[in-house]
Amino acid sequence: MNKIKVLVAEDHTIVRKGLCSLLYSEPDIEVVGEAENGREAIKMVEELAPDVVLMDISMPELNGMDATRQLKKKYPDVKILILSMHSTEEYIFETLRAGASGYLIKRSAPTDLIKAIHAAHAGDCFLSPSISKKVIKNYVQQKQGLSLEPRGLDLLSAREREVLQLIAEGHANREIAGHLYISPKTVEAHRNHIQKKLGLNGTAELTKYAIRKGLVELG
């Protein structure tokens, strides 16, 4: 029997180990690796070629949403399930647009996680029961021509979202440049573009915005 190879990406060690412990008990699932942030997850997908990635949405250095975008662009066949504390429509639709195969609320039953992994591996989409109605409602609105123009994070490029997250995590321009292998001058240009697109000024406002959008978390 070919097992479903799963990579678990979660920055909280206790949560990550708990997820792995749950999956170890499933006879047809194999945990092939554990990642602590989005960048590490991308690297491990390249090395381990998992079938399914369990991706926490709020992780340091690179959040799960942007890690998903990058992975789906480079490895379109990999299936990604988003794990989140948030059940707001904005989080749900942004991750689905990014290419995720499902969205699970962290308080979901363990059986839902197993179902989600099997569904994703089979090419289907799985949503926590508590958020399914929101997705259906939004789909109906779009069919009726009520969808909104791009706004918020959708206005930013992938690189701009990376810069925003690193700013919010307290990194200086030179540090960000080192993380992303670009010049400090380019970082400053990205910062200016972000502020203009979002109508924000200064590090404090950018940080508050990033926290509100779930790019970084407190504590």
CATH of the domain at 105: 3.40.50.2300
| pLDDT (0 to 100) of residue 20 | 96
Look at residue 135 and tell me if it is in a domain. Answer: yes
Indicate if 81 and 189 belong to the same structural domain. no
Q: Is residue 108 included in any domain, yes or no?
A: yes
pTM of structure: 0.74
> Which DSSP string corresponds to 172-195?
-HHHHHHHHTS-HHHHHHHHHHHH
Which of 143, 172, 191 is where one domain is finished?
Answer: 143
Looking at the structure, do residues 124 and 102 belong to the same domain, yes or no? yes
| Number of separate domains in the chain | 2
Q: What is the pLDDT of residue 144?
A: 47
CB within 8 Å of 64: residues ≥ 6 apart:
9, 38, 41, 55, 56, 57, 58, 82, 83, 84, 95
* Domain match, 120 and 44 both: yes
Domain presence at residue 179 = yes
> Residue 151 has what pLDDT?
61
The strands making up 4-9's β-sheet, listed across from edge to edge, are: 29-35, 4-9, 52-56, 79-84, 102-105, 126-127
Same domain? For 9 and 38 the reply is yes
pLDDT number for residue 219: 56
> pLDDT truncated to tens, each residue of the chain (219 aa)?
789 999 999 999 999 999 999 999 999 999 999 999 999 999 999 999 999 999 999 898 899 989 999 999 999 999 999 998 877 777 787 888 888 999 998 888 899 999 999 999 999 988 887 776 556 555 445 544 444 445 677 788 889 999 999 998 889 999 999 989 999 999 999 999 999 999 999 898 898 888 888 777 765
* Residue 139 and residue 77 in one domain: yes
Residue bearing tokens 């499933």: 26
Domain membership of residue 55 (yes or no) is yes
109 and 156 both lie in a single domain: no
Residues 139 and 190 in one domain: no
Report the C-alpha gap between 99 and 156 in whole angstroms. Answer: 17
Pair (46, 102) in one structural domain = yes
Collect all residues with Cβ–Cβ distance below 8 Å to 217 and sequence separation of at least 6: 58, 211
Residue 204 Cα to chain centre, angstroms: 23
Do 17 and 43 belong together in one domain?
Answer: yes
162 and 137, same structural domain?
Answer: no
- The verdict on residue 219 lying in a domain is no
Give the CATH number of the domain where residue 174 resides. Answer: 1.10.10.10
Residues 139 and 173 in one domain: no
Domain membership of residue 45 as a residue range? 4-143
Last residue of a domain, one of 82, 114, 143: 143
User: Which residues touch 50 (CB under 8 Å, ≥6 apart)?
Assistant: 5, 6, 7, 32, 33, 44, 78
pLDDT of the residue at 119: 94
Q: Do 187 and 125 sit in the same domain of this protein?
A: no
Report the alpha-carbon distance of residue 76 to residue 64 in Å, rounded: 16
Please tell me the distance from the alpha carbon of residue 68 to that of residue 84, in angstroms, as a whole number.
Answer: 13
